[in-house]
């Protein structure tokens, strides 16, 4: 028996495991430390009422013979796919067919699983800094990875470069970790580039619900030609606080065809073989996000997080610290003060302010010297963290 030796090429542990380990070790040594965690992008507000009511009602249905459900439809229930289709139409003016939408337990799983349907010979193009899942899942498969630099000069929004060609291109906008977001013209350059090179874009739209500026893109299908070169991933985690409930979706347009094979067909084959769908109550809960009450309630939650981002960015403004994000994004990406390294700043914040953030270096070489704070925290704790940071760095 041989193992998949590609795993030996991975870093010892996942970035957020490292941070949790370091934080827990500090807490164990300093039990009185009142630690505020603004590291991992995990939500803190509970599910909204419309969602919880739907969750309860659907769980009750599962306990009654007449309404009990066994295995669900392969791609997800029609009521949820239709609700997502309508959301695209209303929010982005994008027309999708329900059968182009595949319900899953989250964007992270699909972003990793989708690789099953692509050859390991493909070259992968990823931005640096990057959400580690794109890199690690390709290392596991042994694919060649090429990095495109994000930096303060390009506002952490790398654009196509004819010298750097990839078969599979990852784009996350609004971006994790930098909070930067592409506008229509910039994303059109990526779509045209993919079409010219016969490449495929994997577009991670997990943070689309934070976009408020009209010139920025929420769905890649707002861009002409994208239906021929892009798969889009999205999740209820950040829209509606489903990080612990688990539900997401992937859009594979009917036009997507490579080497004469429809990608939707391969993805359905993969999913029906290795996945049995998301539970009925979770899908009902997710569909409730798109009801009028659900929309209103999640809008309030999103505003709450936007308010947190404002508190963080106001503190940085006061300190004169450079950052991107915080607007159209729940992440604030800042330059570590006084030329400090990312992990050095992490240690300083942890030990002197008892605030946990994410070191930019954990997202790639170009992230060194930068740091990420999340706006998904509790309001009062975020305020307290901002005060502590100001006090420490003034
Ligand atoms: C993060 O902190 O980057 C997020 O939690 C990533 C994720 O949603 O998996």
Q: Measured between alpha carbons, how far is 89 from 92 in angstroms, rounded to an integer?
A: 6
Q: Measured between alpha carbons, how far is 149 from 59 in angstroms, rounded to an integer?
A: 47
Q: Give the Å distance between the CA of 108 and the centre of ligand 1.
A: 9
CA 228 from centre of chain? 23
* CA geometry: angle 354, 368, 237, nearest 5 deg: 65
Question: Which atom of ligand 1 lies nearest, measured to the CA of 39?
Answer: 2
Looking at residue 229, its pLDDT comes to: 98
Q: Measured between alpha carbons, how far is 328 from 212 in angstroms, rounded to an integer?
A: 6
- Ligand 1 first shell, C-beta below 6 A: 40-42, 108, 176, 237
Q: Give the Å distance between the CA of 374 and the centre of ligand 1.
A: 10
Prediction pTM value: 0.97
| Residue 262 and residue 312 in contact, taking contact as beta carbons nearer than 8 Å | no
Residue in the structure block whose two tokens are 């990420």? 372
Q: Give the Å distance between the CA of 19 and the centre of ligand 1.
A: 13
* Helix, strand or coil, per DSSP, at residue 262: strand
Q: Measured between alpha carbons, how far is 50 from 300 in angstroms, rounded to an integer?
A: 13
Q: Give the Å distance between the CA of 129 and the centre of ligand 1.
A: 14
Residue in the structure block whose two tokens are 């972003």? 111
Question: Which atom of ligand 1 lies nearest, measured to the CA of 41?
Answer: 2
Top CATH class of 11-40+293-393 equals: alpha beta
Q: Measured between alpha carbons, how far is 180 from 172 in angstroms, rounded to an integer?
A: 9
pLDDT in tens, the chain (394 residues): 999 999 999 998 888 999 999 999 999 999 999 999 999 999 999 999 999 999 999 999 999 999 999 999 999 999 999 999 999 999 999 999 999 999 999 999 999 999 999 999 999 999 999 999 999 999 999 999 999 999 999 999 999 998 888 999 999 999 999 999 999 999 999 999 999 999 999 999 999 999 999 999 999 999 999 999 999 999 999 999 999 999 999 999 999 999 999 999 999 999 999 999 999 999 999 999 999 999 999 999 999 999 999 999 999 999 999 999 999 999 999 999 999 999 999 999 999 999 999 999 999 999 999 999 999 999 999 999 999 999 999 9
Which DSSP state fits 232?
A: E
Q: Give the Å distance between the CA of 150 and the centre of ligand 1.
A: 19
Q: How many residues make up the chain in this entry?
A: 394
Indicate the top mutation candidate among 14, 17, 131, 372 to test ligand 1's pocket, ranked by most ligand atoms within 8 A of CB: 131
Q: Give the Å distance between the CA of 42 and the centre of ligand 1.
A: 7
Element (H, E) at 196: helix 184-197
Q: Which residues contact 229 (CB under 8 A, 6 or more apart)?
A: 191, 194, 195, 199, 200, 201, 256
| Residue 232 and residue 219 in contact, taking contact as beta carbons nearer than 8 Å | yes
Indicate the top mutation candidate among 23, 38, 40 to test ligand 1's pocket, ranked by most ligand atoms within 8 A of CB: 40
Distances (CA, A) of 210 to 235, 296, 306: 13, 14, 8
Question: Which atom of ligand 1 lies nearest, measured to the CA of 237?
Answer: 8
Q: Give the Å distance between the CA of 185 and the centre of ligand 1.
A: 27
Largest CA distance in the chain: 66
Phi first, then psi: what are they for 334, rounded to 5°?
-120, 155
Q: Measured between alpha carbons, how far is 237 from 45 in angstroms, rounded to an integer?
A: 11
Helical packing angle, 280-288 and 49-62, nearest 10°? 150
Q: Which amino acid residue places its CA nearest to atom 4 of ligand 1?
A: 41
Q: Which residues contact 233 (CB under 8 A, 6 or more apart)?
A: 107, 110, 111, 114, 202, 203, 204, 205, 206, 248, 249, 250, 251
Q: Which amino acid residue places its CA nearest to atom 5 of ligand 1?
A: 41
Phi first, then psi: what are they for 200, rounded to 5°?
-125, 135
Bridge pairing between strands 370-374 and 331-335: antiparallel
Question: Which atom of ligand 1 lies nearest, measured to the CA of 374?
Answer: 2
* CA geometry: angle 87, 92, 97, nearest 5 deg: 55
Distances (CA, A) of 205 to 24, 170, 210: 31, 11, 10
CA 294 from centre of chain? 21
* Helix, strand or coil, per DSSP, at residue 88: helix
Phi first, then psi: what are they for 262, rounded to 5°?
-75, 130
| Residue 144 and residue 164 in contact, taking contact as beta carbons nearer than 8 Å | no
The domain ranges of the chain are 11-40+293-393, 50-290
Query: Does the domain at residues 50-290 carry the CATH identifier 3.40.640.10?
Result: yes
Per-residue tokens: 317: 């403004």
């Amino acid at each position: 028996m041989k193992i998949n030796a590609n795993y030996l090429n991975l870093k010892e542990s996942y970035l957020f495991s490292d941070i949790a380990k370091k934080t827990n070790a500090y807490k164990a040594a300093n039990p009185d430390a009142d630690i505020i965690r603004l590291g991992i992008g995990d939500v803190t507000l509970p599910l909204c009422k419309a969602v919880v009511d739907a969750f309860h009602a659907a769980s009750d249905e599962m306990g009654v013979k007449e309404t009990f459900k066994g295995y669900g439809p392969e791609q997800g229930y029609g009521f949820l796919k239709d609700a997502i289709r309508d959301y695209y139409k209303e929010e982005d003016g994008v027309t999708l067919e329900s059968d182009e939408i595949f319900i899953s337990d989250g964007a992270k799983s699909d972003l990793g699983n989708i690789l099953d349907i692509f050859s390991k010979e493909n070259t992968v193009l990823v931005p640096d800094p990057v959400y580690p899942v794109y890199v690690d899942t390709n290392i596991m498969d042994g694919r060649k990875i090429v990095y495109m630099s994000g930096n303060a000069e390009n506002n952490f929004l790398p654009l196509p470069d004819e010298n750097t060609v990839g078969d599979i291109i990852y784009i996350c906008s609004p971006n994790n970790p930098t909070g930067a977001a592409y506008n229509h013209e910039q994303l059109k350059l990526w779509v045209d580039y993919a079409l010219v090179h016969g490449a495929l874009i994997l577009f991670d739209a997990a943070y689309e619900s934070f976009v408020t500026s009209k010139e920025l893109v929420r769905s890649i299908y707002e861009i002409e030609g994208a239906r021929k070169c892009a798969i889009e991933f999205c999740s209820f985690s950040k829209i509606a606080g489903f990080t612990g409930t688990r539900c997401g979706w992937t859009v594979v347009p009917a036009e997507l065809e490579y080497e004469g094979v429809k990608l939707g067909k391969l993805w359905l084959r993969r999913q029906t073989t290795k996945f049995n769908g998301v539970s009925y109550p979770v899908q009902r809960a997710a569909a409730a996000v798109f009801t009028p009450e659900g929309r209103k309630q999640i809008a309030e939650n999103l505003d709450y997080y936007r308010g947190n981002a404002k508190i963080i960015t106001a503190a940085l403004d006061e300190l004169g610290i450079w950052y991107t994000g915080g607007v159209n994004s729940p992440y604030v990406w800042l330059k570590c003060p006084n030329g400090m390294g990312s992990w050095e700043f992490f240690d300083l914040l942890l030990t002197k302010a008892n605030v946990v953030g994410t070191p930019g270096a954990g997202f790639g070489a170009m992230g060194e010297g930068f740091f990420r704070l999340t706006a998904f925290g509790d309001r009062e704790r975020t305020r307290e963290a901002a005060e502590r940071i100001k006090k420490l760095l003034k």
